[in-house]
Amino acid sequence: MKSLETSPPSYNELGGSFAKEMWKGLVLSDYLKDIQCSLKAVAVDPLKAQADFEKLWRGVMHAVEHKPKAIWKELRRVAVGIKKIPLKRRVAECPRVLIVGEIYVRRDDFAVGELTDLMSERGIVVKVAGVSEWIVARICLTPITPRRKHDLLEFPYDNSCKKCFICISYENGKGDASPWEPMVSSFIP
């Protein structure tokens, strides 16, 4: 399977752990954005919920910038803070919409902000496909010369639009593999 380190452009020159830390950051930001979008539709007071979430988000960013090893402690604090936000209903009880598209659609509030706000006001929980999912799709679709046969993922045409689950392990230049990362999902194009 291809990885962030074997797919062009590679970030190997930034150090062995850079790609792993970058991946954690992308997945974390995707999940936090999902929470923020959900709060717009399910919170009793969406404006106050967004303000509360913004304070929690700033705490995460401070930890990332100044105390990266404290990120898990900060995330526990975020979880406690989010649980305190009063909800008018649970996400599972709401209609849900997935917005997918090219990279310029994902996580770009200018491109999709008005649409997500409009649906959220109507009680529809919006999930905008994450950047991490786009990267996984790019890794799977970018044609490169594989180093090994299993570097490429090939899906039969009849699997198009089905969901696949991918777990990544990084390799250094010596072929030493890291532990498996959390599983992510993607749609097969």
pLDDT at 179 over 60: no
Encoding tokens for residue 123?
A: 């009680």
Determine the pLDDT at residue 185: 58
Determine the pLDDT at residue 149: 43
Determine the pLDDT at residue 112: 83
pLDDT at 33 over 60: yes
Question: Is the pLDDT higher at 42 or at 100?
Answer: 42
pLDDT at 4 over 70: no
pLDDT at 164 over 90: no
Residue range 19-33: mean pLDDT, rounded: 83
pLDDT at 111 over 90: no
What's the chain look like in SS3?
Answer: CCCCCCCCCCCHHHCCCHHHHHHHHHHHHHHHHHHHHHHHHHECCHHHHHHHHHHHHHHHHHHHHHCHHHHHHHHHHHHHHHHCCCECCCHHHCCEEEECCCCCCCCCHHHHHHHHHHHHHCCCEEEECCHHHHHHHHHHHCCCCCCCHHHCCCCCHHHCCCEEEECCCCECCCCCECCCCCCEEEECC
Determine the pLDDT at residue 181: 55
For the chain, give every domain's residue range: 12-43+87-187
Determine the pLDDT at residue 84: 96
Task: Give tens-digit pLDDT for 82-109.
Answer: 999 999 999 989 999 888 777 777 777 7
**Average pLDDT for the chain:** 76
